[in-house]
């Protein structure tokens, strides 16, 4: 056996940020605008306690469009993590690319998921993607993971076929915990 085959591989939940964890604010660049959805922190805590790695996978085209800087984005990211609570999010991956740009990272492309999987020893066959848009579902499908579309943001059900649909992140966590057994 190789060393790599002996390493423990973890299940993960990949999460969109805006409209899934927090209220969607167009091109959010102000930490004071961060409003975490009720029940989101508790849902993430239950997933973490069940052994899931948690990763935020987010498109941030406001950077590429020049609406805000990466420093401003990082301030919002830090505030999201502060409001959720310590040690819940294992890592955050973002794409600054604009829609229509040639991009391997921008969702629905799965590169950010693959990057997280490589860097954190994730078993994609036991993993999930949760988001509120068709591009989130498509990103999860492109990465080969099961998907949950939440209705807290755009909930574009007509443009995609998620594995499950849930009212919010708490309901999505219950589905994931049930299906992971």
Query: Does 8 score more than 90 pLDDT?
Result: no
The model's pLDDT over 126-162, given as tens digits with 9 standing for 90+, comes to 999 999 999 999 999 999 999 999 999 877 667 789 9
Q: Where are the domains of the chain?
A: 3-179
Structure confidence at residue 1 (pLDDT): 44
Closest CA to 130 of 56, 32, 37: 56
CATH fold of 3-179: Rossmann fold (3.40.50)
For the annotated catalytic residues, the residue numbers are: 16, 18
Rounded Cα–Cα distance for residues 9 and 90 (Å): 15
């Amino acid at each position: 056996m190789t060393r790599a085959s002996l390493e423990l591989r973890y299940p993960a939940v990949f999460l969109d940020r805006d409209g899934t964890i927090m209220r969607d604010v167009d091109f959010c660049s102000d930490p004071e605008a961060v409003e975490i959805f009720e029940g989101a922190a508790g849902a993430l805590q239950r997933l973490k306690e069940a052994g899931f790695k948690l990763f935020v996978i987010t498109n941030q085209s406001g950077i590429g469009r020049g609406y805000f800087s990466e420093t401003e984005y990082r301030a919002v990211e830090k505030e999201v993590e502060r409001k959720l609570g310590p040690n819940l999010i294992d890592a955050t991956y973002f794409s600054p690319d604009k829609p229509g740009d040639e991009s391997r990272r921008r969702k629905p492309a799965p590169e950010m998921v693959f990057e997280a999987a490589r860097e954190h020893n994730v078993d994609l066959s036991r993993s999930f993607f949760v988001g509120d848009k068709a591009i989130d579902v498509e990103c999860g499908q492109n990465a080969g993971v099961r998907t949950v579309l939440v209705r807290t943001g755009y909930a574009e059900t007509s443009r995609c076929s998620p594995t499950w649909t849930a009212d919010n992140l708490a309901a999505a966590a219950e589905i994931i915990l049930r299906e992971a057994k």
